[in-house]
Copies of this chain bind each other. A is one copy, B any other.
């Protein structure tokens, strides 16, 4: 493995240690070593925004904690859910009496541990409600949308819910806007190479040289089609068409677009991919009003990219444009 690590079992812990030293103005420790909180204190009565997930997706998840985004984060082992205990701690730290919105991705381990943590928090008198991201339209049929995985679309709901919470939105309002955001969001990824969890030492899936996998998950979950690598223009079409059809995007609509590299794809190729996405959207009469292109939600050293689209109404447009500051996303505001 050509990786910058020490003990393969300690990668997640040492990553957190590095983050706390590098970005103390953004992230601070809590009583639980796998739970971080925003350094900038929130006013009393603000709804707490919590997220959490496996490590290996950096800057997600810890990179989206900060003003205008999440308040605390629970960090799991690489590609594994945080424990119930860590979600519980994240809820406690985030609560200022107004309740907590836990906004996370649809994976069995996360669902189970969040559920357990909510019960523990209830005993402390902390109210927690959840929105579970299921934006990966390639991961199950539309009829089975509740089985779909959450991927980079989570960033969109952290942004809108975080902004509304900062505006003193109630827990009901914050949950409603997060749900509206993820319902309006679809994502599809393409993988061009596998990735290796350091403690495993070899990939737990393969993508043959010269091939690509459309709809691949963030942990190498099978996609919908394996085919020879196509030009970028065709990749963009394969991903976009699927999202546009599933979410029934149509002429005259405004969207937010997020392209994220999966970790090892050169950043220039993400810009090149955006060139096609922008052209294709505009040719269909769809206007990309917010544009995010970079490494936002990665999968270790997987090559490939994901495209995420969110249908905008006035409220989502406004909330996405509000200032936010974190390791993974800074918005200066308009």
Residues on A lying within 8 angstroms of B by beta carbon are: 1-6, 11-12, 14-19, 21-23, 55-56, 58-59, 192-193, 207, 209-210, 212, 229, 231-233, 235, 263-276, 278-279, 291, 293, 295, 298, 300-301, 303-305, 325, 330, 332
Contacts and interface: CB of A to CB of B under 8 A. Distances in A.
B266 A3 contact: yes
Given A18-B278, A266-B298, A271-B19, A192 B4 contact: yes
This chain: how many copies in the complex? Answer: 2
Given A14-B275, A330-B332, A58 B268 contact: yes
A227 to B, nearest CB: 13
A57 to B, nearest CB: 8
Given A18-B275, A266-B263, A275-B14, A229 B2 contact: yes
9 contacts: A3-B229, A4-B270, A14-B272, A18-B275, A22-B271, A22-B274, A325-B332, A330-B330, A330-B332
Contact of A5 (B1, B5, B231): B231
A220 to B, nearest CB: 14
A332 B275 CA distance: 29
B303 A192 contact: no
Contacts of A273: 4, 18
A295 B58 CA distance: 12
A265 B231 contact: no
A4 B305 contact: yes
A77 to B, nearest CB: 12
Contact of A269 (B4, B17, B265): B4
Contacts of A278: 18, 21-22
B193 A268 contact: no
